[in-house]
Amino acid sequence: MKEQLEAIQAEALERISQTEDMKELQDIKVAYLGKKGSLTGVLRGMGKLSKEERPVIGEVANKVRESITAALDEKNEKLELLQLEEQLEAEAIDVTLPGRPVKVGGPHLLSSIVQELEDLFIGMGYEVREGPEVETDFYNFEALNLPKNHPARDMQDTFYITNELLMRTHTSPVQARTMQEYKGEKPVKMICPGKVYRRDTDDATHSHQFTQIEGLYVDKNVRMSDLKGTLDTFAKKMFGADREIRLRPSFFPFTEPSVEMDISCKVCNGKGCSVCKGTGWIEILGGGMVHPKVLEMGGYDPEVYSGFAFGMGPERIAMLKYGVNDIRQFYTNDIRFLKQYHKA
């Protein structure tokens, strides 16, 4: 029996030393020391031994069990350590590697222009207001001295939703809305940026949807020279201190007199080139003195109050300022176009 035990020990130790696998090590443990293991089997037969033999074999058996257990523990520890090392190696982070760059977006060119204009006019004491894009016929036209069937309604081809509802064709309805809200009780000094819609066929210079910024200043003693000074400040801040402006007579039903403002061409400095079509001037915006009827409909007494209004297109301003030659660039969103205007 002693030989049998020693044979088991030799075999077990050999198998333990050979294995490099935790699972196999566990199997070996079961195969020798488990309930049905070979060592356990031999020990069970001890009952058949004589009284003298029993303690001797018992001692041998204990030593065999101890040596197998010790070998198992030792191997287990070794394999655990190995596993940990492998895991650490696999999960290692090289802190010296360069980081992955984070892609940062930036404001759309139009948003930047609108922001710049807002800052400029806030600096001159204007508040920034908003109005609905789905507008009533009343605010878009009637309150601006454009009664139904007025021929000047054809100046702006309109997307009608119902007879009375439409997509606003300009930001001017916000003039009427603001005056009405202020009830003729206090001066108005506001700008309103926003989207407007027209039934135009899209091409390089026309778009069915674009942006406008409206300006309205109503107070006592507001004069044409105030409009001119304001627009001159705007032109010089936006396009450079060396720009000249000129006002040409024009027509809008809601202003009287009405003007169109040009700035001297930046490309040729007024000499005449292809950008200004040889005139030396570039048209920028429309404006004028608020029509007495519009003041009246807004609740302001035209005998006491006067005012000026203007409307400009940020797309046009951006196109002139940055040499963008197709208005569709603003909404087709080619990232190569947009990126050029992201400030670092």
Nearest to ligand PHE of 172, 230 (CB atom) = 172
Give, in order, the Cα–Cα distances in Å from 151 to each of 14, 138, 147, 319: 107, 16, 9, 31
Instruction: Find the binder of ligand PHE among 170, 266, 291, 316 (CB under 6 A).
Output: 170
Cα distance between residue 178 and residue 320, in whole Å: 30
**Helix, strand, coil percentages, rounded to 5, for the chain:** 45, 20, 35
Angle between helices 109-122 and 314-322 (to 10 degrees): 110
Phi-psi region of 125 (alpha: psi -120 to 50; beta: other; left: phi over 0): left
Instruction: Find the binder of ligand PHE among 158, 172, 211, 264 (CB under 6 A).
Output: 172
**Using the rule CB under 6 A, is 314 a contact of ligand PHE?**
no
Instruction: Find the binder of ligand PHE among 126, 139, 310, 330 (CB under 6 A).
Output: 310
**Using the rule CB under 6 A, is 252 a contact of ligand PHE?**
yes
- Say how many C-beta atoms besides its own lie within 10 A of residue 303's C-beta: 9
- Say how many C-beta atoms besides its own lie within 10 A of residue 301's C-beta: 10
Angle between helices 22-33 and 2-18 (to 10 degrees): 170
203-215 in b/e form (b: 16+ CB < 10 A) is: eeeebeebbbbbb
172 close to 214: Cβ distance less than 8 angstroms: yes
**Using the rule CB under 6 A, is 167 a contact of ligand PHE?**
no
Q: Least distance to ligand PHE from the beta carbon of 156, Å?
A: 7
**Using the rule CB under 6 A, is 211 a contact of ligand PHE?**
no
**Using the rule CB under 6 A, is 32 a contact of ligand PHE?**
no
Nearest to ligand PHE of 217, 252 (CB atom) = 252
On the question of a cis peptide bond just before residue 314, with omega within 30 degrees of 0, the verdict is no
Instruction: Find the binder of ligand PHE among 37, 173, 288, 307 (CB under 6 A).
Output: 288
Q: Least distance to ligand PHE from the beta carbon of 309, Å?
A: 4
**Using the rule CB under 6 A, is 305 a contact of ligand PHE?**
no
Nearest to ligand PHE of 32, 141 (CB atom) = 141
Nearest to ligand PHE of 16, 110 (CB atom) = 110
Q: Least distance to ligand PHE from the beta carbon of 126, Å?
A: 14
Instruction: Find the binder of ligand PHE among 286, 298, 307, 314 (CB under 6 A).
Output: 286
Q: Strand, helix or coil at 94?
A: coil
**Using the rule CB under 6 A, is 261 a contact of ligand PHE?**
no
**Using the rule CB under 6 A, is 287 a contact of ligand PHE?**
yes
Region of 27-35, 89-97, 124-132, 305-313 interacting with ligand PHE (CB under 6 A): 305-313
What SS3 string covers 217-274?
EEECCCCHHHHHHHHHHHHHHHHCCCCCEEEEEEEECCEEEEEEEEEECCCCCCCCCC
Q: Least distance to ligand PHE from the beta carbon of 286, Å?
A: 4
Cα distance between residue 21 and residue 76, in whole Å: 9
**Using the rule CB under 6 A, is 230 a contact of ligand PHE?**
no
Nearest to ligand PHE of 9, 211 (CB atom) = 211
**Using the rule CB under 6 A, is 193 a contact of ligand PHE?**
no
Q: Least distance to ligand PHE from the beta carbon of 242, Å?
A: 26
Residue nearest to ligand PHE (CB): 311
Region of 12-20, 68-76, 262-270, 309-317 interacting with ligand PHE (CB under 6 A): 309-317
**Using the rule CB under 6 A, is 255 a contact of ligand PHE?**
yes
Cα distance between residue 199 and residue 156, in whole Å: 8
Q: Which of 306, 290, 311, 296 is nearest to 187 (CA)?
A: 306
Q: Which residues bind ligand PHE (CB under 6 A)?
A: 170, 172, 214, 252, 255, 286-288, 309-311
